[in-house]
C-alpha cells in the first residue's frame, strides 16, 4: 500500500476491500452493502454490473497533478472519460466494483477522497468558484470551506443520518453558490471588523423545492463549525427516516408539519453543551500562487481577433488582484476525455496557477492568469475545441446525465442540451453574452441539473396520448438568482414533448425580446405577465391532437419511448435482518472503544450514542414496532420495551441515551457512557436470543421500518 496514504486513508482502503470480499462471499446482504458502498462514493448506474464513482472535491478545487491522477484512473479502470457535476465534483462511469479499492488508493495518494460523496452523509461542500479572487467578496471563504470539510469528514455524526446534508458558501451577496437552496448556506459578511456569515438553513430542490430560511443575519466565523455540528445532531435525532421523501432538513424546520425554525434553533442551543468545540477558530493563511510565467505574446497572431474578443468578454474577468484574470472554460455537459483533462492540467501549469476550480455549472476556472497570457490560453483552448464564448450565459446549458447512466432519469437530458445550445448560437447569436438568463435541464424531478433554479428550466416527464407515451419535459420558469443576489424557485408551467423543447425556447426568447420592457430582467417579465400567460403561450405545443411520430421518440433514440425508471440508490434498503442491525450497533460500539484509545472523547461518546439507538431500534423492529426518528426510537423503547418490563436496565433508557447532550465531552463521561452502552448491548442481545428461542426464526423487516 502506498506510503503516501494517511492512517485514516489506509483504514478506509482496507475496510473497503474487506467489505467487498465479505459481500462477494455472501456474508453481507446486498442492500446493507449498498448502504456502505454509497458512503464510499460507489453508486449503481443504469447499466447492470457497473458503478458510477464520485469524488469529493470541496469547493471544486483540484490541482493539475490531481486532475492527471483522475485522468489516469479513468484510462485504467473505465472508458477514459470524466464528468464534472453541478456539485463541483468529478464522476467516473462504468466502474467495476472490484476495482474501487485500487481507485481509492490512487485518489488518497494524490490527496483526494471519495469518502461520504454519496449516501446519507454530509455531501461535497460547494462554494463560489470565484472565492479568493472575487472583486466583490468581503473575504475569501475558501479556508472556511476547507475547514468545515475536514472537520466533518469521517465525523461520527455524519455516518448514520436519515438523509444527506448539502452545504454551500457563496463569495458575496450575489450568491454565486446558490446558498439559498442548501441545507446550510453561508454568505460572508464583516461586522465591526469581525469576519462572519449570514447563515441560512433548510433550503433544497427535488420534487418539493424550499428556499432556505435565515437563521442568523450574522454569525462570527468561529461559531460556524459549532453551529453546523449542533444542527447536524438535531437533524440526526429529530429528522424523519421512515418516509424517505420527507427525510430532509427542509421538512424538519417546516413551520406547519415540522418543528419550525425557532424550535430547531432552540434545540441547537441545547446541544452546545455536548460539543467538543464551543468555538472553532479557523486558521486563514495568506493565499499563495505558483507565480505563473508572464509570456511575451506580441508576436502571436490569432486567426480571428473578433472571436477572441467575444471570448474575452464572456469567459474572462478581472480578479481583485491587480494584473490577474480569471478564465472560465465551458465544458459542454461537463464531459471531457482523459486526454483533454491532461491538456487542461498543462494549461493551468503553463499559464495560470495550480489552483483550478470546477464550477457549479460544470465548467473549469483558471485563476491568476496574467493579462499577457490570455491569448495563449485562448489558443490552447481553441486546439481543444473549448474556446467558444458564453460561459454561464444563455448559451451555456446545464444538464445532468439523464438516461445516459442514471437509474432515476425519465428522459434524455444530454442530447436536448446540445440542441438548445446550437439553437441559441445559430438563431440568437446576439444573446450569447446574456448572463441573466440560464437554462438548466434534469432527467427527472430530482433536480440534479438544478432546473428549479433556472430562469428557463426543464425536467423529464411523460405525456400519455392514444395508448402511447410521449417523452416530455416539464417547463418551469422564473427561478435563479437575480442581479441583486435574491434567490427564487421556478414555477411549473406546462409539459411539452421533448422534441418540441427547442420550439419552447424559441417562443420564450422571441416573446421576451418582443414584449419585455427596456432592461427588464427575465424573471420580472415572467412575474409581470404571469404563469397563465405563459401557459397559454405554449399550450399549442402540448396539444396531443398535433403529436406526430417523432414526438413519441426521445432525443438520441430511433424507437418509440418506453419509460424505464429504476430505483435510485438513495431510495433505501428493501429488507434486512434484525441480527444485522444488532451487528451495526456492535460496530459502532467498537468504534467508540477505539476512540477512547485515541483519547477522542467526543467521537467515543457519539459512536456510543449511535450504538444505543441502533440497538434499541433492532429490538423495536423485532417486536414489529415502526421506527421513524431517533427521538421516536428513544420514546418507544422506553414506553413499549422497558416500561412494560421486557428488559431490565439500571436506569431509564431515555435518560441513559440523552445524557449525551447534558455533559461536556470529557474523559470521565466518555468512559462511563461507553461502559453503559456496552452493558445495554449485552442485555438486548440476551433478550433477542430469548425471543429467538420462542419464535425459532430470524426476523425480517421491510425498508419502511428499517431506515431509522
- Tens of pLDDT along 110-132? 999 999 999 999 999 999 999 99
CATH code, domain with 319: 3.30.70.3340
Mean predicted confidence (pLDDT) in 208-218: 96
256 and 335 assigned to the same domain: no
179 and 221 assigned to the same domain: yes
529 and 557 assigned to the same domain: yes
Where among 274, 295, 313 does a domain terminate? Answer: 274
How far is it, in rounded angstroms, from Cα 369 to Cα 37? 40
- Tens of pLDDT along 321-357? 999 999 999 999 999 999 999 999 999 999 999 999 9
Q: Residue 573: its pLDDT value, please?
A: 37
Where among 541, 567, 593 does a domain terminate? Answer: 567
CATH code, domain with 30: 3.90.480.20
Indicate whether 284 belongs to any domain.
no
CATH code, domain with 621: 1.20.120.330
104 and 157 assigned to the same domain: no
Indicate whether 543 belongs to any domain.
yes
584 and 440 assigned to the same domain: no
Indicate whether 391 belongs to any domain.
no
Mean predicted confidence (pLDDT) in 569-587: 67
Res. 223 pLDDT band, cuts 50 70 90: very high
506 and 593 assigned to the same domain: no
* Plot region of 325 (φ>0 → left; ψ -120 to 50 → alpha; else → beta): beta
Instruction: Report the run of H or E that residue 194 belongs to, with start and end.
Output: strand 194-201
412 and 545 assigned to the same domain: yes
How far is it, in rounded angstroms, from Cα 698 to Cα 700? 6
How many of the other CB atoms lie within 10 Å of CB of 300? 12
136 and 269 assigned to the same domain: yes
Indicate whether 2 belongs to any domain.
no
Total domains in the fold of the chain: 5
Indicate whether 285 belongs to any domain.
no
Indicate whether 296 belongs to any domain.
no
**Containing structural domain, residue 336:** 305-384
Indicate whether 298 belongs to any domain.
no
How far is it, in rounded angstroms, from Cα 473 to Cα 171? 33
The proportion of the chain whose per-residue pLDDT surpasses 90, expressed as a percent, equals 79
375 and 346 assigned to the same domain: yes
Alpha helices of 216-289 — where are they, by DSSP H?
224-238, 249-252, 260-271
Res. 67 pLDDT band, cuts 50 70 90: very high
Indicate whether 83 belongs to any domain.
yes
**pLDDT top residue among 60 and 574:** 60
Q: Residue 578: its pLDDT value, please?
A: 79
464 and 586 assigned to the same domain: no
Q: What is the DSSP string of 613-649?
A: HHHHHHHHHHTT-----HHHHHHHIIIIIITTTSS--
Q: Residue 692: its pLDDT value, please?
A: 65
Closest CA relative to residue 452, chosen from 473, 480, 412, 417: 480
Per-residue pLDDT at 22 exceeds 80: yes
CA distances from 154 to 231, 299, 670 (A): 17, 53, 19
426 and 552 assigned to the same domain: yes
Where among 540, 567, 594 does a domain terminate? Answer: 567
The proportion of the chain whose per-residue pLDDT surpasses 70, expressed as a percent, equals 95
76 and 136 assigned to the same domain: no
Amino acid at each position: 500500500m502506498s506510503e503516501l496514504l494517511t492512517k485514516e486513508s489506509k483504514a478506509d482502503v482496507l475496510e473497503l476491500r474487506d467489505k467487498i470480499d465479505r459481500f462477494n462471499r455472501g456474508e453481507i446482504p446486498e442492500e446493507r452493502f449498498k448502504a456502505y458502498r454509497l458512503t464510499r462514493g460507489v453508486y449503481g448506474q443504469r447499466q447492470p454490473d457497473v458503478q458510477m464513482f464520485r469524488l469529493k472535491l470541496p469547493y471544486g478545487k483540484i490541482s493539475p497533478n490531481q486532475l492527471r491522477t483522475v485522468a489516469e484512473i479513468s484510462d485504467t479502470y473505465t472508458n477514459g472519460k470524466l464528468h464534472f457535476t453541478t456539485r463541483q465534483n468529478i464522476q467516473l462511469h462504468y466502474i467495476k466494483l472490484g476495482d474501487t479499492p485500487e481507485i481509492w488508493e490512487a485518489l488518497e495518494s494524490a490527496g483526494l477522497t471519495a469518502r461520504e460523496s454519496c449516501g446519507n452523509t454530509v455531501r461535497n461542500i460547494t462554494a463560489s468558484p470565484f472565492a479568493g479572487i472575487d472583486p466583490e467578496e468581503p473575504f475569501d471563504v475558501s479556508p472556511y470551506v476547507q475547514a468545515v470539510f475536514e472537520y466533518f469528514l469521517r465525523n461520527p455524526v455524519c455516518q448514520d443520518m436519515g438523509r444527506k446534508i448539502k452545504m454551500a458558501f457563496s463569495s458575496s451577496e450575489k450568491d454565486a453558490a446558490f446558498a439559498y437552496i442548501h441545507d446550510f448556506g453561508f454568505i460572508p459578511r464583516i461586522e465591526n471588523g469581525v469576519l462572519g456569515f449570514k447563515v441560512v438553513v433548510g433550503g433544497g430542490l427535488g420534487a418539493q423545492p424550499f428556499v432556505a430560511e435565515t437563521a442568523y443575519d450574522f454569525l462570527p466565523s468561529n461559531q460556524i463549525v459549532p453551529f453546523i455540528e449542533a444542527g447536524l445532531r438535531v437533524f440526526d435525532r429529530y429528522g424523519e427516516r421512515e418516509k424517505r421523501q420527507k427525510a430532509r432538513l427542509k421538512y424538519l424546520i417546516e413551520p406547519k408539519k415540522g418543528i419550525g425554525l425557532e424550535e430547531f434553533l432552540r434545540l441547537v442551543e441545547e446541544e452546545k453543551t455536548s460539543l467538543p468545540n464551543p468555538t472553532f477558530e479557523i486558521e486563514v493563511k495568506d493565499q499563495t500562487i505558483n507565480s505563473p510565467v508572464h509570456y511575451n505574446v506580441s508576436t502571436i497572431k490569432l486567426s480571428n481577433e473578433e472571436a477572441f474578443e467575444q471570448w474575452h468578454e464572456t469567459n474572462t474577468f478581472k480578479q481583485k488582484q491587480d494584473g490577474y484574470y480569471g478564465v472560465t472554460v465551458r465544458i459542454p455537459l461537463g464531459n471531457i476525455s482523459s486526454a483533454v483533462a491532461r491538456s487542461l492540467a498543462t494549461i493551468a501549469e503553463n499559464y495560470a496557477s495550480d489552483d483550478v476550480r470546477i464550477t457549479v455549472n460544470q465548467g473549469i476556472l483558471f485563476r491568476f492568469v496574467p493579462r499577457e497570457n490570455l491569448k495563449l490560453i485562448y489558443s490552447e483552448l481553441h486546439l481543444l475545441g473549448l474556446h467558444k464564448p458564453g460561459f454561464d450565459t444563455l448559451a451555456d446549458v446545464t444538464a445532468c446525465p439523464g438516461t445516459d447512466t442514471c437509474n432515476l432519469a425519465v428522459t434524455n437530458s444530454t442530447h436536448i442540451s446540445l440542441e438548445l445550445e446550437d439553437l441559441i448560437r445559430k438563431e440568437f447569436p446576439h444573446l450569447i453574452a446574456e448572463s441573466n438568463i440560464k437554462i438548466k435541464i434534469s432527467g427527472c424531478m430530482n433536480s440534479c441539473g438544478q432546473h428549479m433554479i433556472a430562469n428557463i428550466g426543464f425536467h423529464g416527464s411523460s405525456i400519455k396520448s392514444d395508448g402511447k407515451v410521449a417523452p416530455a419535459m416539464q417547463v418551469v420558469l422564473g427561478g435563479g438568482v437575480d442581479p441583486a443576489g435574491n434567490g427564487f424557485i421556478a414555477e411549473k408551467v406546462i409539459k411539452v414533448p421533448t422534441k418540441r423543447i427547442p420550439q419552447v425556447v424559441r417562443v420564450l426568447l422571441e416573446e421576451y425580446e418582443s414584449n419585455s420592457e427596456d432592461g427588464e430582467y427575465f424573471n420580472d417579465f415572467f412575474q409581470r405577465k404571469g404563469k397563465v400567460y405563459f401557459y397559454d403561450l405554449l399550450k399549442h405545443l402540448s396539444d396531443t391532437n398535433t403529436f406526430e411520430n417523432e414526438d413519441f421518440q426521445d432525443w438520441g433514440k430511433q424507437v418509440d419511448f418506453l419509460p424505464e425508471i429504476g430505483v435510485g440508490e438513495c431510495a433505501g434498503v428493501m429488507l434486512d435482518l434484525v441480527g444485522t442491525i444488532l451487528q451495526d450497533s456492535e460496530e459502532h460500539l467498537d468504534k467508540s472503544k477505539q476512540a477512547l484509545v485515541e483519547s477522542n472523547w467526543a467521537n467515543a461518546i457519539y459512536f456510543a450514542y449511535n450504538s444505543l439507538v441502533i440497538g434499541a431500534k433492532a429490538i423495536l423492529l423485532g417486536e414489529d414496532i415502526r421506527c421513524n426518528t431517533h427521538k421516536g426510537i428513544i420514546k418507544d423503547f422506553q414506553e413499549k420495551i422497558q416500561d412494560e418490563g421486557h428488559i431490565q436496565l439500571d436506569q431509564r433508557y431515555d435518560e441513559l441515551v440523552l445524557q449525551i447532550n447534558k455533559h461536556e465531552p470529557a474523559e470521565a463521561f466518555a468512559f462511563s457512557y461507553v461502559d453503559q452502552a456496552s452493558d445495554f448491548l449485552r442485555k438486548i442481545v440476551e433478550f433477542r436470543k430469548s425471543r429467538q428461542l420462542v419464535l425459532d426464526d430470524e426476523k425480517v423487516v421491510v425498508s419502511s421500518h428499517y431506515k431509522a
